[in-house]
């Protein structure tokens, strides 16, 4: 019964359709039959500006794509099919914050993948089908990847990774693969939950001991799991081991049935940043973020605490039909402004970001000198920040990072480097003014080694032939 339910869900997933997004500024359209902006996906990617969306209509595209800029690549209802060229990846991603959604990718060659991410951070792969070939998705380094709602079907590898950190792999299906998940020993803090593993030779292989196979008391569905659920809460009563067993990885909350698609996930708020973080009075501050959801984002708001203690609460603006949002604001009153972003989805799951800040003020200017100018590991060095200034107030704090884990405070500080390894230390001064603004200056400091002094004596002073002479070493090293 469990297997029949699982396969029914998979067939439904593979044939499900999505609604087509409306046209929006910053969107480039691709249709292999015309008459869109382009008939080639790669041509559209090359023409796109960072932040644009490339929307691909239904069709079969025999291309190998390279994405080297921050864009959203969106396919029509998984009916936009990318057939991988021989000996090439279907999509290669080398830029941060790339979003790929709604594609079917087929026939990756031996040693190649439907999607290859190379040292790319904060990327999203959503609602894709990858089938009939060597590899589904491969990640080389990078962090912050999210893969959700994606099917890897009859591939040698579903998702594999080397050096990947802080990724979320959720709500995906691995069907008929040789190895569904393959994560190397240098992967860290990656989380897997609500995934379904069916008919694989090996479901998962995790050589790291620092990944997580469940989240918030929810794990994954494993067809091979034979545990029981006495309390009928939908979670198996015994843990499920992840290969290789000697690494000690377990799914502690294995699901008794495949995830049925009931949406309990709030949106994710990513890359929340104020540009610039310190702005002069009446200057424009642009607050940006990326908000994604496994179904659809509904409402988004920003809340800013004002200097009089009241709050500004406004809707964020969306960039076309992308996952990017922004809010522009100016303030005349100087000070520290705290803000957060709140969002919910169409199923009313909501989330609030952590508190962030920006400062309205005229920045101070950090500056310092040190003496002696060519220090050795015998010298006590004086660091002097008296040349630092603040155009509209006073500097309240001087923080020195002297390297090697040493931090000191004050306008003038002293320090002695007892070792000259490494010979170059990075010294950073950060000054904070009375408005909460800050500035930093960094200098590289070379600490010279004092060489040893060679010396010796001998006796007698005037030896003759045949007489024994005694030599005595009196060499020394002043700093070692």
How much is the pLDDT for 420? 63
How much is the pLDDT for 4? 46
Give the integer Cα–Cα distance in Å for 52 and 313. Answer: 27
Judged by average pLDDT, the poorest of 189-193, 433-437, 471-475 is 471-475
What's the CATH number where 62 sits? 2.160.20.10
Mean pLDDT calculated for residue range 117-128: 96
What's the CATH number where 313 sits? 2.60.40.10
Give the integer Cα–Cα distance in Å for 302 and 272. Answer: 11
Let me know if residue 128 belongs to a domain.
yes
Mean pLDDT calculated for residue range 368-389: 95
227-236, 264-273, 344-353: which has the highest mean pLDDT? 227-236
Let me know if residue 36 belongs to a domain.
yes
Q: How many domains does the chain have?
A: 3
How much is the pLDDT for 462? 86
Last residue of a domain, one of 187, 219, 251: 251
Let me know if residue 226 belongs to a domain.
yes
Last residue of a domain, one of 360, 389, 417: 360
Residues 274 and 205 in one domain: no
Let me know if residue 261 belongs to a domain.
no
249-302 confidence digits (pLDDT tens): 999 999 999 987 767 778 999 999 999 999 999 999 999 999 998 889 999 999
Residues 123 and 55 in one domain: yes
Mean pLDDT calculated for residue range 337-346: 95
Residues 53 and 175 in one domain: yes
Last residue of a domain, one of 197, 220, 251: 251
Let me know if residue 262 belongs to a domain.
no
Judged by average pLDDT, the poorest of 269-278, 319-328, 388-397, 470-479 is 470-479
Residues 328 and 239 in one domain: no
How much is the pLDDT for 78? 87
Residues 393 and 454 in one domain: yes
Mean pLDDT calculated for residue range 139-145: 97
Phi, psi of 213 (to 5 degrees): -105, 20
Mean pLDDT calculated for residue range 452-475: 86
Residues 108 and 206 in one domain: yes
Rg (CA), the chain: 30
Which two tokens mark 40?
């080639």
31-69 confidence digits (pLDDT tens): 998 889 999 999 999 999 999 999 999 999 999 999 999
Mean pLDDT calculated for residue range 108-118: 94
Which two tokens mark 393?
């107030």
Judged by average pLDDT, the poorest of 223-237, 269-283, 416-430 is 416-430
Mean pLDDT calculated for residue range 121-127: 96
Instruction: Find the helix or strand (DSSP H, E) in which 6 lies.
Output: helix 2-15
pLDDT band at 23; cut points 50, 70, 90: very low
Which two tokens mark 274?
């104020």
Let me know if residue 257 belongs to a domain.
no
Judged by average pLDDT, the poorest of 5-9, 133-137, 292-296, 413-417 is 5-9
Domain containing residue 18: 2-251
Residues 413 and 356 in one domain: no
Residues 126 and 224 in one domain: yes
Which two tokens mark 103?
């594609």
Are the C-beta atoms of 174 and 180 separated by less than 8 Å? Answer: yes
Instruction: Find the helix or strand (DSSP H, E) in which 15 lies.
Output: helix 2-15
Residues 82 and 199 in one domain: yes
Which of residues 90 and 475 earns the better pLDDT score?
90
The pairs formed by 40-46 with CB atoms below 8 angstroms and a separation of 24 or more are 41/65, 41/73, 41/82, 42/66, 45/69, 45/71, 45/73
Residues 366 and 355 in one domain: no
3-state secondary structure of 103: strand
Give the integer Cα–Cα distance in Å for 309 and 356. Answer: 16
Give the integer Cα–Cα distance in Å for 12 and 44. Answer: 31
Mean pLDDT calculated for residue range 213-233: 95
Are the C-beta atoms of 280 and 360 separated by less than 8 Å? Answer: yes
How much is the pLDDT for 19? 36
pLDDT of 1 strictly over 70: no
How much is the pLDDT for 8? 46
Reply yes or no: is the peptide bond before residue 51 cis, omega within 30 of 0. Answer: no
Secondary structure (H, E, C), the chain: CHHHHHHHHHHHHHHCCCCCCCCCCCEEEECCCCCCCECCHHHHHHHCCCCCEEEECCEEECCCEEECCCCEEEECCCCEEEECCCCCCCEEECCCCCEEECEEEECCCCCCEEEEEECCCCCEEECCEEEEEEEEEEEECCECCEEECCEEEEEEEEEEEECCECCEEECCEEECCCEEEEECCCCECCEEECCEEECCCEEEEECCCCCECCECCECCEECCCCCCCCCCCCECCCCEECECHHHCCEECCCECCCCCCCCCCCCEEEEEEEECCEECCCCEEEEEEEEECCCCEEEEEEEEECCCCCEEEEECEECCCCCEEEEEEECCCCEEEEEEEEEEECCCCEEECCCEEEEECCCCECCCEEECCCCECCCEEEEECCCCECCCCCEEEEEEEEECCEEEECCEEEEECCCCCCCEEEEEEEEEECCCCEEEEEEEEECECCCCECCEEEECCCCCCCCCCEEEECCECCCC
Residues 83 and 67 in one domain: yes
Q: What average pLDDT is seen over the chain? A: 91
Residues 239 and 120 in one domain: yes
Let me know if residue 17 belongs to a domain.
yes
> What is the number of helices (H) and of strands (E) in the chain?
2, 42
Let me know if residue 260 belongs to a domain.
no
pLDDT of 20 strictly over 50: no
pLDDT of 181 strictly over 90: yes
């Amino acid at each position: 019964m469990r297997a029949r339910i699982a396969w029914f869900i998979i067939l439904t997933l593979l044939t499900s359709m999505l609604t087509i997004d409306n046209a929006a500024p910053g969107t480039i359209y691709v249709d292999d039959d015309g008459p869109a902006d382009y008939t080639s996906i790669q041509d559209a990617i090359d023409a796109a500006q960072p932040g644009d969306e490339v929307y691909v209509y239904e069709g079969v595209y025999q291309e190998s794509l390279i994405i080297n800029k921050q864009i959203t690549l969106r396919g029509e209802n998984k009916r936009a099919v990318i057939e991988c060229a021989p000996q090439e990846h279907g999509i290669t991603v080398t830029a941060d914050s790339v979003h790929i959604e709604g594609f079917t990718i087929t026939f990756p060659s031996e040693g190649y993948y439907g999607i290859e991410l190379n040292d790319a951070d904060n990327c999203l792969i959503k609602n894709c089908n990858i089938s009939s070939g060597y590899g589904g998705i491969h990640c080389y380094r990078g962090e912050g990847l999210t893969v959700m709602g994606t099917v890897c079907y009859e591939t040698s590898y579903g998702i594999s990774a080397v050096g990947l950190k802080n990724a979320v792999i959720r709500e995906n299906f691995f069907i008929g693969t040789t190895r569904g998940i393959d994560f190397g020993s240098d992967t860290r803090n990656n989380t897997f939950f609500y995934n379904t593993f069916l008919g694989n030779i090996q479901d998962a292989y995790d050589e790291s001991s620092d990944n997580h196979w469940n989240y918030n008391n929810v794990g994954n569905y494993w067809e091979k799991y034979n545990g029981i659920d006495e309390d009928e809460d939908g979670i198996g009563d015994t843990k499920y081991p992840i290969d290789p067993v000697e690494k000690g990885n377990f799914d502690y909350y294995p699901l008794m049935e495949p995830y049925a698609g009931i949406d309990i996930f709030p949106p994710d708020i990513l890359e929340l940043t104020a540009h610039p973080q310190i702005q002069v009075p009446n200057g424009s501050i642009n607050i940006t973020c990326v908000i994604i959801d496994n179904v659809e984002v509904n409402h988004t708001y920003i809340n800013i605490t004002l200097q009089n203690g009241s709050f500004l609460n406004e809707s964020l603006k969306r960039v076309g039909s992308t996952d990017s949002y922004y809010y522009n604001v100016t303030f005349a009153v100087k000070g520290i402004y705290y803000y957060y972003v709140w969002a919910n989805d169409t199923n009313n799951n909501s989330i609030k970001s952590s508190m962030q800040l920006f400062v309205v003020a005229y920045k101070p200017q950090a500056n310092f000198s040190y003496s002696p100018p060519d220090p050795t590991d015998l010298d006590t060095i004086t660091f002097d920040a008296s040349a630092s200034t603040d155009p509209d107030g006073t500097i309240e704090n001087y923080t020195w990072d002297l390297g090697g884990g040493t931090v000191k405070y004050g306008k003038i500080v002293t320090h002695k480097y007892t070792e000259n390894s490494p010979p170059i230390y990075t010294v950073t001064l950060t000054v904070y003014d009375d408005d909460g603004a800050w500035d930093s200056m960094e200098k590289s400091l070379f600490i010279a080694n004092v060489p040893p002094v060679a010396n010796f004596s001998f006796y007698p002073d005037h030896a003759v032939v045949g007489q024994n002479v005694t030599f005595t070493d009196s060499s020394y090293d002043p700093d070692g």
